[in-house]
Amino acid sequence: MKRIVALIAVCILYCCAVLPACAAEYPSRGLRLIVPFNPGGGGEQAVRLIEKDFREVTGQSLSFIYKPGGTGLIGAMDLSRQRPDGYTIGVGSYPLLVVDVISGRAPYTLDSFDFISLLCLADVYLVVRADSPFKTAEELFAQVRENPGRVNLGICEILGPTHIPALQLKKAGLPFNHVPIDGAGRVVPALLGGQIDAALVPGDGASAAMGKMRVLASASEARSAFFPDAPTFRELGFDIVSGVGRYIAAPRGIPAKARAGLENILRSLLERPDVKERYRLAGTVATWKSGDELRAMFEAYAATVRPLIDAYKAEAGGR
């Protein structure tokens, strides 16, 4: 009898030791989040909006690791080289990753990552100062045609979601003088200060100053919910669609359970009405898409803009 009791005791002790490991669900510890931009940027903000909710749901924290440089290239490269254990992830900006790949700037490919989820999408707007003489996009375009190369158009980056529409406008016969400025946080002051005549800006990066600007057009599929009076570029006769998305990715090869767990967690958070409202107030729209759907977005965008990027590189190389 004593031997049986002892055996039962050993079994109980064994189960107590093993069960926590077996029962532990992902994530069982805090996650490192690589942010490929400076603190305070749109990529960080997109995650900060759900940081508290993530901690409440999972019981785990997010540690923000900043790796700025190269409009996101440095951080993405660092992420691609991390151990794929599911505990180091990164936030990225759509479509900059695929542009870096197409243009040859990136030492990685789309296959270097496991895409987890899209977080949000912000429209790209054509804007002027609120006191600008240009009341409509047609008036601005007429000025550009009459004065080719003399109307300054600010863009937030080279070969990104504001530069690509600018190149498309140029190809369609609107020869703005493109003025690259690093980030919406610097483009907007340049516009308000009169250094440029107009600008293409993402809604999330310029949300705080939109009241000081006039939106002439939106590069969205349908009219913006934020500025419904502004026509889309398609309504104006230009097949131009662009936006800025924030997403979560991981180094290639993370465990399937970790990937599925992250997808489910983020989907549940982004579907909450209070979370949707937070993103709305930040000038963007909470938009969940699975990792596979996000990968398909990148591939479709690549097919659309590759000829434009190749032409730009050829022209720039010939100068």
Domain ranges of the chain: 30-121+243-309, 123-241
Domains 30-121+243-309 and 123-241 share a fold: yes
Which SS3 state, helix, strand or coil, does residue 119 take? strand
Question: How far is the C-alpha of 5 from the C-alpha of 59, rounded, in Å?
Answer: 38
Query: For the domain bounded by 30-121+243-309, which CATH number is listed?
Result: 3.40.190.150
Query: Would you state the pLDDT for residue 260?
Result: 96
Distances 138 to 66, 134, 188, 210, 268 between C-alpha atoms, Å: 42, 9, 22, 20, 43
| DSSP string across 211-274 | GGEEEEEE-SSS--SS-TTSPBTTTTT-----EEEEEEEEETT--HHHHHHHHHHHHHHHTSHH
d(CA 315, CA 305): 15
Asked whether the whole model's pTM tops 0.75, one would answer yes
User: pLDDT tens for residues 106-120?
Assistant: 999 999 999 999 999
**What is the rounded distance in angstroms from the CA atom of residue 34 to the CA atom of residue 55?**
17
CATH topology of domain 123-241: D-Maltodextrin-Binding Protein; domain 2 (3.40.190)
> What is residue 16's predicted lDDT score, i.e. its pLDDT?
43
The closest alpha carbon to 153, from 309, 242, 224, 144, belongs to 144
24 pLDDT higher than 90: no
pLDDT band, residue 79 (cuts 50/70/90): very high
Residues 6+ apart with CB under 8 A from 137: 126, 216, 217, 231, 236
